[in-house]
Structures are given as C-alpha cells and as structure tokens.
Amino acid sequence: DTEVTQTPKHLVMGMTNKKSLKCEQHMGHRAMYWYKQKAKKPPELMFVYSYEKLSINESVPSRFSPECPNSSLLNLHLHALQPEDSALYLCASSQAVVGDEQFFGPGTRLTVL
C-alpha cells in the first residue's frame, strides 16, 4: 500500500464552524506533513510530525491545530477560519530519513464562507 488518503475531499465551512481534516497512511512512515496550497502556487509547509511529535510549526495561526494520534493518522483541526484560508490542504508522509521521498495525498479542497 503506497497510498496516502485524505478525507473529506471537499469541505465548505463557515467562519464560526469547527471541522477536522483527516489523513492516513499505512506505509510505516514516521514523518507526516500538512501543506497548504493556493491555486497556481507551490505547496507551503504548515506542520511536520516526526515519530508522532510535532517537529516543525511554520508559524501557523492557532486556528489551525494539528494532531497525530498514532503513527498512521494525522488530523488538522480547524476553528474560526477566515475566507483567505480557503485552499487545497495536502497531507504527505515519508520515512523519517533525510532526503526521503514524500508521498502526497490527493488533498482536501477547503472553502471558508
């Protein structure tokens, strides 16, 4: 299984809603990543978990809250988002080895009204 899955595929939420994005991999990878991608732009790193511990936080606003319940799962909890947070949210995973390939999921298309 060389797949990273993400749910939901699409999400529409109001600025007062609380929602969560989910990412799962069963490749035995110990590093997992959240990226935000705006249209026609490269992905921007948000968070990295390494061995279930938060390793990198790219100064992301607190309305985004990551969680890594176990080595296969990664969540991104969303609360009080702004319309400018509308984007494609990509999850990725890799072996926690320098220079290893990152495997990306298909993404969740988020729209904040």
Partner 1 sequence: AQTVTQSQPEMSVQEAETVTLSCTYDTSESDYYLFWYKQPPSRQMILVIRQEAYKQQNATENRFSVNFQKAAKSFSLKISDSQLGDAAMYFCAYPRIIHSQGGSEKLVFGKGTKLTVNP
Q: Which residues bind partner 1 (CB under 8 A)?
A: 30-31, 40-43, 45, 48-51, 55-56, 58, 88, 90, 92, 94-107
State the minimum distance, in angstroms, from the CB of residue 8 to partner 1. Answer: 14
Q: Under DSSP, is residue 67 helix (H, G, I), strand (E, B) or coil?
A: strand
β-pairing verdict for 87-94 and 108-112: antiparallel
State the minimum distance, in angstroms, from the CB of residue 33 to partner 1. Answer: 8
d(CA 29, CA 25): 8
State the minimum distance, in angstroms, from the CB of residue 85 to partner 1. Answer: 18
Expressed in angstroms, the distance from the first to the final Cα of the chain is 36
SS (HEC) of 85-100: HCEEEEEEEECCCCCC
**Whose Cβ is closer to partner 1: residue 42's or residue 69's?**
42
State the minimum distance, in angstroms, from the CB of residue 9 to partner 1. Answer: 10
Q: Which residue has the tokens 């279930």?
A: 52
**Whose Cβ is closer to partner 1: residue 9's or residue 16's?**
9
**Whose Cβ is closer to partner 1: residue 39's or residue 83's?**
39
